[in-house]
Amino acid sequence: MDHIASLAGKDSLSRRYFMEMSAKLSLGVGLSVPFLPRQLKAQGTGKAKNLIYIYLSGGMTHLDTFDPKRGDVMGNTETIDTNVDNMKMGQHLTKLSKQADKLAVINSMFSTNGAHEQGQYIMRTGYEKRATIVHPTIGPWAERLLGKQGEVLPDSVVIGQSTSNAGFMDPSLSPLPIADPGGGVPNTQLIVEGDRFNRRMEMAQKLGQQFTEKFKYSGPDSYVEYYKQANRLLKSDELSAFDISGESNASDYGNGRLGQGCLLARKLVENGVRVVEVVSGGWDMHVDVEGSTATRIPELDTAVATLLADLESRGLLETTLVAIGTEFGRTPDINMNSGRDHFPAAYSCVLAGGGIKGGTVYGETDGQGKKVKSNPVTPEDFIATIGYGMGLNLEETIYSPTQRPFVFGNHGKAVTSLFG
């Protein structure tokens, strides 16, 4: 029987009940594994040991990037050739066009969610947003299915967000949120140093000891443990994995948050973090799509092209799956404000590294980018494809504390032909 299910027993326990009774000594940073790592059941290729998921929030225009067409729908965006014959790109992807042989482009994504919140939710969890449960993102899923990877660093990190959660899974699986890639882990600068800090800590520990002797509860004990761990982290070299200030190729990535986020993601993956999400906004181009693409797409181009080259030169590309996702595409018809509106009927996502067969174009839209013509891919399929690359068991049922069954990718069909 599944571990959670056996703990929860027949009388279903609420999420809160479960969390309160479950192991509390862990929240990602340098703590023990909450669930016993099981026999690693490799599924799919499993070549991708790590994942960098670049999430473009707002809805990336597919026509101006990876699915260019001819005629009016393109506005003033021109189409360029790439180093792969059958792959074309929008004019701003100049650097990526030279690495097209590393990419698998899916041009047949479609979703039924035309609102940002809902669209983003399913593209990051594989599940429709509901009002009765919160689904985990890929990081907690991977840790739950594969066991914790590192010892001190968390298993998953989300960059560009100040909060995170593990959905219905144990909170210890929550990705560590890093709001600003340049800022690192918040609150790691001591207010006072040296003896004075030690004096403070000693007094606090004495008080804590009395309290934990008085009350035999896991709560206060866990805080004592967290203080130990925090102190260890503050003194540890591993903290430097979050510091990108000394990286020699920092400017190659671009100075914006997307570029710096990709740089931090590379560094974290190199140090043993399994899943890094880089969330970047600014893609909701209802007004002046030409002006917006001229700034956002080159930023994406520089960041991803540098990331792929950097991973390759470090020998990490074969084991690191890089994914670019977004909630929907944008209308082929340009609106009265020279912008493009939401368009979930057809859009593009990209995969690279981690066993992906580069130079692949999968699926096709019609001549105006309005309709998927072949090989449709849903958000669930896309998430399942990532899971397939990471070797996650797509059929292993995990029960929520309320006994609802879930599988990674919600039974989406992995596009296995993308893998070499």
Partner 1 sequence: MNKLPCLKPVRILVILLAGIFTLSAQARTWTSTDGKSMQAIFLGIEGDNFKFKMQNGSEIIVPSDRFIKADQEAAERLDLIGDDSYTLASARQIDTLLAQNLKKNGFSSFNDPLPDDLFVRRVYLDIIGRIPTKEEFLRFAESAREDKRQALIDELLISPGYASHLFNYFADMYRLNASEAFVNGIRMDPYIQWWRDQLAANTPYHEIVTEMLTATGNVGQNPASGFLLRDTGMEFDAFANFGQVMLGIDISCAQCHDHPFDEWTQGDFYDMAAFFGNTQRSLGYRPSSAMMGGGRIEMPNAPEGWKKQFEDYASSEHGINMRDQADRQFRYFVQALGWNVADNEALETVLPHDFRGSGGKPNEVAKPKTLIGAAAKTGGKTRREAVADWLTAPDNPRFSIVIANRMWDRAFGRPLVGPINDFSDSSIRGAAQPEVLKFVTREMQRVNYDLREFMRILYNTRAYQSIATAEEPDWGDDYAFQGPVLRRMRAEQAWDSMMLLQHGPEIDEKKGADGSFYKALLDIDLSEASNEEVWEHFQAWDSTSRNRMGFAVLASEGNMTPTIVDDKELRASELPQPFTNASMLDTFGQSDRIITDDHNFDGSVPQVLALMNGPVTERLTGLSSKVVVDMEEYDGPDDKVRGVFFTLLNRFPTKEELALGTGMIEDFGDDGISDLAWSLINSPEFLFVQ
Q: How many residues in the chain?
A: 420
Evaluate whether 187 touches 205 at the Cβ level (below 8 Å): no
Amino acid at 136: P
Only one of the segments 72-80, 182-190, 252-260, 372-380 lies at the binding site for partner 1 (rule: CB under 8 A); that segment is 182-190
Select from 19-27, 62-70, 266-274, 289-297 the region that touches partner 1 (CB under 8 A). 19-27
The least distance separating partner 1 from the CB of residue 120, rounded to whole angstroms, comes to 12
271-330: contacts with partner 1 (CB under 8 A) = none
Q: To the nearest whole angstrom, how small is the minimum distance from the Cβ of residue 171 to partner 1?
A: 5
| Selected binder of partner 1 within 3, 95, 116, 373 (CB under 8 A) | 116
Enumerate residues 6+ apart whose C-beta is below 8 A from 213: none
Q: Locate tokens 């670019």: which residue?
A: 324
* Interactions with partner 1, residue window 213-272 (CB under 8 A): 214-220, 222-224, 226-227, 229-230, 233
Calpha distance 385→409 (Å, rounded): 8
Binding region for partner 1 (CB under 8 A) out of 21-29, 71-79, 97-105, 292-300: 21-29
Does residue number 39 form part of the binding site for partner 1 (CB under 8 A)?
A: no
In whole angstroms, the minimum distance from the beta carbon of 322 to partner 1 comes to 27
Q: Is 367 in the site for partner 1 (CB under 8 A)?
A: no
CA atoms within 13 A on the CB side of 304: 33
Give the residue with the Cβ less far from partner 1, 328 or 382: 328
Mark 161-178 as b/e (b = at least 16 C-beta within 10 Å).
beebebbbbbbbbbbbbb
Binding mask 325-364 for partner 1 (x = CB under 8 A): ------x---xxx---xxxx--------------------
The token pair at 108 is 């047949």
By CB under 8 A, is residue 24 in contact with partner 1? yes
HSE value, Cβ hemisphere, 13 Å, CA-based, for 354: 29
Interface with partner 1 includes 79 (CB under 8 A)?
no
Nearest to 304 by CA among 269, 263, 246: 263
What is the smallest separation between the CB atom of 217 and partner 1, expressed in angstroms? 4
Query: Are residues 266 and 307 in contact, defined by beta-carbon separation less than 8 angstroms?
Result: yes
